[in-house]
Every structure is written in C-alpha cells, then in structure tokens.
Chain A
C-alpha cells in the first residue's frame, strides 16, 4: 500500500459516501444520474466476485463491503425512497445502460487475462467503470446546472482517478511483476472522460458566477 493508492481509495470512498449521506440528509438526488449509479453498482458487483473466495486483507474486504453496500443503497434511495425519487430528473436521464453494458461485455469476452467467468467479469467491470460516468455527463450537459452535490461528487471521483494513476506509476517502478494493461488502459480512458467532465463543470460554474454578477 502506497500513499497514492490510499489517497485514491479514500477519495473514492468519500465520493460514494458523500453522495449517499447527502441524498439521505437533504432527501434529494437532483442532477444525479440513476443510470450511472446503477452502472457503478454493477461494476462493484462484478468486480468483487472474489470477496468470499480470495482473502487479501481486512482492509480490502471491508472496503469492498462498503462500496457494495453504499452503491446499492444509492440506487435504492433513487428508485424506492418516496421523497428522493421525486427529485430525480427522470425525463433528462435517458441514456440506455444497454449501449454501455453490451460493448463492455463483448470486449471482456475478447480481452481478458484468462477466459474464466471470474476473469471475464473482472475485465468487464474495469471496462464498464471507465464509461459508467457517461450518462451523468449527458445529464449534466442537458440540465446545464451543477449544484454543490454534483460538484463535490465529481471532484472526489476525479481525485480518485488521478491518485490511482500515480499509484500505478509508483507500483510499476517499485514492484517488478506489476504490469497490468487492462487496468491501465481502461483507467486512462476513464480519467480522460473525467477531464471532459471537469471541463463542463468549470464552464458551468464560471457561467453561473457571471449570471449572478450585478448589472
């Protein structure tokens, strides 16, 4: 465990927990894409198939349980909670899961470390994580409005991506066997999509400030 990895895990954890706590507290999920949240729940469910078969560390197991629990809780809130689901921008959040899930599944069947169910699911989860933000990006472009909730969530996710790239570079030079193309390429694609997200975020933020300036 290096400092970049820990910082990446912590910002990733905070992004999910901040979102869950805010939805729970303010009973609103305005601006948040349910499609993206469902894709993340699917990402964790397919990546952590090893949770009960391969023990790595107490830290690893607890983190996996928290990610699974919190991501499915967010989906539950947005779909089932009577107040939260009223604030959901359903008409705007129209991205189809299918268009992301199917190509990722096909790619995982072709590009994997070993052709076993667990390995294919693991590769699938990495490809899907890379593009799972797209429905959120589309929703953001449509509503052209980012509140603090969405802003903090995206900022923390972006920090997680950046720290993980530093972690891979660090591990590449310190651990002789650490070569992992599937993780790196999908991680890089994901980070580039976040850079795009940040671009829209700062643009919207800038425009909002301009709008509020006195004439």
Chain B
C-alpha cells in the first residue's frame, strides 16, 4: 500500500 491508496475508497 502506498500513501495514495487512501483515497481509493468510496
């Protein structure tokens, strides 16, 4: 997981 993975949620 990268820090960018955070906003992959709905």
* Residues in A lying within 8 Å of B, measured CB to CB: 5, 9, 12, 50, 54, 56-57, 60, 63-64, 67, 122, 164, 167, 171, 174-178, 180, 183
Residues of A within 8 A of B8 (CB): 56-57, 60
Tell me the interface secondary structure of chain A in the complex: helix
Residues of A within 8 A of B1 (CB): 171, 174-178
How far, in Å, is B7 (CB) from chain A's closest CB? 7
Residues of A within 8 A of B9 (CB): 5, 164, 167, 183
Which 6 pairs between the two chains have the least Cβ-Cβ distance? Answer: A175-B1, A177-B3, A56-B8, A180-B6, A178-B1, A63-B10
Q: Can you identify 8 A-B contacts, CB atoms within 8 angstroms?
A: A50-B7, A56-B8, A57-B8, A67-B10, A171-B1, A175-B1, A175-B5, A177-B5
Residues of B within 8 A of A12 (CB): 10
Given A175-B1, A176-B1, A177-B2, verify A122-B10 contact (CB < 8 Å). Answer: no
Residues of A within 8 A of B2 (CB): 177
Beta-carbon nearest neighbor of B6 in chain A:
A180
Partner of A64, one of B5, B6, B10: B10
Partner of B7, one of A63, A122, A164, A176: A122
Residues of A within 8 A of B5 (CB): 175, 177-178
Complex CA–CA separation, A167 to B8 (angstroms): 12
How far, in Å, is B4 (CB) from chain A's closest CB? 9
Complex CA–CA separation, A195 to B9 (angstroms): 22
